[in-house]
Structure 1
Amino acid sequence: MPSVNRRYAATELRFKRPPAARGDESRAPVVLMVSGGADSTALVVLAATSPLDIDDGRGAQRIMRERLHILHVNHQLRGIDAEEDEEFVRQLASRFGMPCTVHRADVRALAEEAARRTGSSDDANVENVGREVRYEAARKLANDLCDQLGAPRSAARIVTAHTADDRAETFFMNAIRGTGPAGLSSIPRRRNRIVRPLLDYTHEELCDLLRMRGIIWREDVTNKDTHYLRAYVRHEVMPVVRKRNARVAGSIATTCDILSDEDAYMNQVASKTYRELIRRSSDSMVALDARRLAACEVAIARRVVRKAIVDICPDARLEARHIARALELVAADHGSASIPLGADVRVEYGLLFIRAHGSSRRELALWLEVPGRVALPDGRALSARLVSLPAGASAPDVARAHALEFKGSSVLLDAEACGLSRSQGGRLWVDAAAPGDVMCPLGMHGQSKKLSDVLNEAKVPAADRPGVPIVRLDATGPVAWVAGIRPDERVRCASDTKLLLELGIIDG
């Protein structure tokens, strides 16, 4: 039995998971990620011969041999040693009767490419890129096997050989870099389909298990290179800590479990708050209620901002100082900042806007046939049609009632004043506001006003103004309607209006 307690006592009071459904789920693949080192070799042995808990609701049970599949990723970093690792894993798989897939990737070249793209150190990227390559290969293999077997992808498991020592090392690595509760939670027991059933074992226990069974393993000499942070922590930090506490891996494991549980709860609260604060959103932008965000507890506000940025820019190089800067802008109720490889953050009109870098809009310039409908670059649509005034009705009264009913998303204008007729129809030009544009807003009795001032009064952020459709009588003509905001006085319905132009802006 492993010496590291899986959970501190309080967690034994948790609700038990309901048993997982059988059927096709029982055929779902279990992909073992095997490097050939002692830990992953022990994972193969235990998966083939002993009960393992792969977090599928069944607890620790023997895994059906036909579900097991070994994946080895050759990073091509160590020449002949890497080739020998690959051959060792193939032989290990054959010994235990498991199919084996080998994925080859030039991790050094990929790291250099990432370094050029991000401006970071090649060496610092090698570990990160290697990790990404391994997990991407595992995800693809699990998906392919599920499709072949007719099993749901969610039921597949990707199993790694992380131990209690790995967890303690990651704890210190993240502390050295600087992190929050999520980083100090270190390696989770499960993340989606990825499970780590050996977190209760130490590395030495797994080595002892292999020695007792007469099974050799491969040693990676780069694990001793303290140029890499993990090797530095393993060979320089952990020995010093163990002098004070020989069971430090178990102590840190308990700490990580506590932090992980509390972090999960805080994330639930933050996710609920995030949904409540969203005022606008798209694939490349989210706007949050800045004033309500400012009133949140700072622990929740940090997580809300982090979630918003990650949702818009999953690859952002996000650091604690970026979150702090965003919250400073929220507190000041104005200002902007930028996040490397991520987003622009701006506070305007009581909203916190987070936009992905490079989320430029297509140019807004098109004809709107009357009657007709056109799609806009942001996914909405503009529509136009001609409507006869009902007998005995007052055109101004009908237009006012229409504007109230549709709350500005649709208007009725004088068709003849717009140069349109029932017999010939016509077309209108739609583009974005340009410097120097003016209009005569409805209700100002013919007084002109800069279009920029109209948009400012409507509290449209500067970054969003190129996406506001401006409907004009022709390509160089006067404004008829600032879509969704205000029509022009010169094309309003008058007492002698007979033919109405209905314009509307709707979600696509």
Structure 2
Amino acid sequence: MLDKLKNHIAHNFPFLENKKLLLATSGGLDSMIMAHLFYKLKYDVALVHCNFQLRGMESFGDQNFVQDYAEANEIPIFVTQFDTDAFAKDYKLSTQVAARDLRYNWFYELLETENYDYILTGHHADDNIETFLINLSRGTGLEGLVGIPEQNDKIIRPLLPFSREEIANYANENGIKWREDSSNASDKYLRNKIRHDLVPLLKELNPQFISSFQKTQSFLQESQQMVEDASIMVYQQVAKQEQDEIRFDLNQLKKLPNYRSYLYQWLNEFGFSAWDDVYDLVNSQSGKQVFSPNFRLLKDRDFLILCPINTEIEVRDYFITEDTKKVNIPLNLSFCKVSDISVASNTAIFVDENKLEFPLVLSRWREGDYFQPFGMEGKSKKVSKLFKDEKLSLIEKENVWILWSGETIVWVVGIRQDERFRIRESTQNILKIQLE
């Protein structure tokens, strides 16, 4: 097993040579074998042990066992204790998820504070099978069937090629001791039911089940890579990034024979779960939205627009005094007196300063706001109608600010000036307002 691991590392993880490694060591069979093997291979390692305090004195027995092993072999060790139940309750998590979050957050903290390079865990081939079957039983896409990744950022799982039986045989042959987790015997967890009942049956039906499974997963991983490559190529034709928004061109999207699969591939990482609602957006009316915890997907005419949910939409008003030269919040605006004018634009207007009532006010637009568009003397128009004419999306509307003089709009900022403040022959003082 030592030689097999050595060859596996040389082929798949040659960069581990001369690196400082943290070995996640619970005291169980797989982690103790991993600690033994990497110690034998003379890597620069330290053990890391989390006491989750979930099994009373048994948890402290595991901690003492790992500490004694580290001391006997003169291996550095880092130990921490978590009140896992309290953390799970505070953050409304399952015990398993809470333990995982606590563990990996601490591991990454150690990488930084103690100057280590990678975290190694003892996941093996049977763990991979169990994860596959759990995902399969719950319903999953291809990404749920490709198994536990051998490397995920700084986390490496070097024992994935080895079965639980191989690991146990090596331990018995070499007199390596480990601790049994009593919770592994309980069938109240789905993983344990699969481990105790389903996997042995599959191995009985096919003695070569593990190697057959590994071949199948290899094919699935290759298929997943092909899907990702195709997804990237199609994405470049359909999507366009604009600041913090991604716009999907529906005309291009609908040409795809299976656009739903592409949408899932592109949007899955943004936390969406109501997939039927996401797919229905393609043919829904403009303005419909679907939300994930941190993002929203909006149908806007011929586009789907993905953007973060703005949980801090500014509702307060900002006042601008007569002597103000520049403001930076909520927009970057400059105010400058000039002697003549150039052509106005969406980002710069020229107004008759004597007609302004200070302080000016910057506020969000409100339904029912009216103004007189530049060039339309005597004719009023709803700001909402302007938005419709300009074909602004709901997201763009939410980001529009209005510059007011008293009860009169001076500028729908960045879009249209009001006619009532335009420069005329009688104007004596010209103020240029520039949106930076």
Q: Offset of 1:100 from its aligned partner?
A: 0.9
Q: Offset of 1:472 from its aligned partner?
A: 1.3
Q: In structure 2, what residue type is equivalent to 1:445?
A: E
Residues 80 and 266 of structure 1: CA distance in aligned 2, closer, same or farther (over 3 Å): same
Matched, 1:245 2:206: yes
Residues 128 and 97 of structure 1: CA distance in aligned 2, closer, same or farther (over 3 Å): same
Matched, 1:431 2:384: no
Matched, 1:193 2:146: no
Q: Give the structure 2 partner of residue 37 of structure 1.
A: 28
Partner of residue 491 from structure 1, selected from 409, 421, 428: 421
SS in 2 for 1:158: strand
Residues 274 and 74 of structure 1: CA distance in aligned 2, closer, same or farther (over 3 Å): farther
Residues 272 and 4 of structure 1: CA distance in aligned 2, closer, same or farther (over 3 Å): farther
Matched, 1:336 2:288: yes
Q: Deviations over 1:240-292 (max 9, x none)?
A: 2112222222222222233234324533554566577245443xx65544444
Residues 414 and 339 of structure 1: CA distance in aligned 2, closer, same or farther (over 3 Å): closer
Q: Give the structure 2 partner of residue 362 of structure 1.
A: 314
Q: Give the structure 2 partner of residue 375 of structure 1.
A: 328
Q: Give the structure 2 partner of residue 49 of structure 1.
A: 40
Partner of residue 346 from structure 1, selected from 271, 276, 298: 298
Q: Offset of 1:19 from its aligned partner?
A: 7.5
Distance 1:503 1:17 in 2: 61
Residues 489 and 337 of structure 1: CA distance in aligned 2, closer, same or farther (over 3 Å): closer
Segments of structure 2 that go 5 or more residues without pairing to the other structure are none
Distance 1:99 1:195 in 2: 19
Distance 1:136 1:489 in 2: 58
Distance 1:335 1:466 in 2: 13
Q: Give the structure 2 partner of residue 131 of structure 1.
A: 100
Do the aligned residues in 2 keep the contact of 1:33 with 1:158 (CA within 8 Å)? yes
Q: TM-score, normalised on structure 1?
A: 0.76
Q: Deviations over 1:13-45 (max 9, x none)?
A: xxx99975xxxx976420100111111110001
1:168-187 correspondence runs (5 A): 168-187=129-148
Q: Give the structure 1 partner of residue 239 of structure 2.
A: 277
Do the aligned residues in 2 keep the contact of 1:273 with 1:304 (CA within 8 Å)? no
Please, which moves more after superposition, 290-299 or 409-418? 290-299
Q: Give the structure 2 partner of residue 256 of structure 1.
A: 217
Distance 2:305 2:316 in 1: 22
Distance 1:214 1:431 in 2: 75
Q: Offset of 1:176 from its aligned partner?
A: 1.0
Q: Give the structure 2 partner of residue 88 of structure 1.
A: 65
Q: TM-score, normalised on structure 2?
A: 0.88
Distance 1:363 1:34 in 2: 52
Partner of residue 102 from structure 1, selected from 74, 79, 82: 79
Distance 2:209 2:66 in 1: 31
Q: Give the structure 2 partner of residue 145 of structure 1.
A: 114
Q: In structure 2, what residue type is equivalent to 1:96?
A: N
SS in 2 for 1:185: coil
Q: Offset of 1:228 from its aligned partner?
A: 1.1
Matched, 1:479 2:409: yes
Distance 1:337 1:439 in 2: 29
Partner of residue 300 from structure 1, selected from 251, 262, 265: 262
Distance 1:274 1:107 in 2: 41
Residues 360 and 460 of structure 1: CA distance in aligned 2, closer, same or farther (over 3 Å): farther
Distance 1:427 1:272 in 2: 53
Partner of residue 442 from structure 1, selected from 374, 385, 408: 374
Segments of structure 1 that go 5 or more residues without pairing to the other structure are 51-61, 116-121, 147-152, 310-315, 390-394, 420-425
1:218-233 correspondence runs (5 A): 218-233=179-194
Matched, 1:413 2:364: no
**Percentage of identical aligned residues:** 25
Q: Give the structure 1 partner of residue 433 of structure 2.
A: 503
Do the aligned residues in 2 keep the contact of 1:173 with 1:230 (CA within 8 Å)? yes
Q: Deviations over 1:353-407 (max 9, x none)?
A: 3455561312241123455222234xx4222222111xxxxx5xx32xx42xxxx
Q: Deviations over 1:34-75 (max 9, x none)?
A: 11111111000110113xxxxxxxxxxx52xxx201111111
Distance 2:352 2:77 in 1: 74
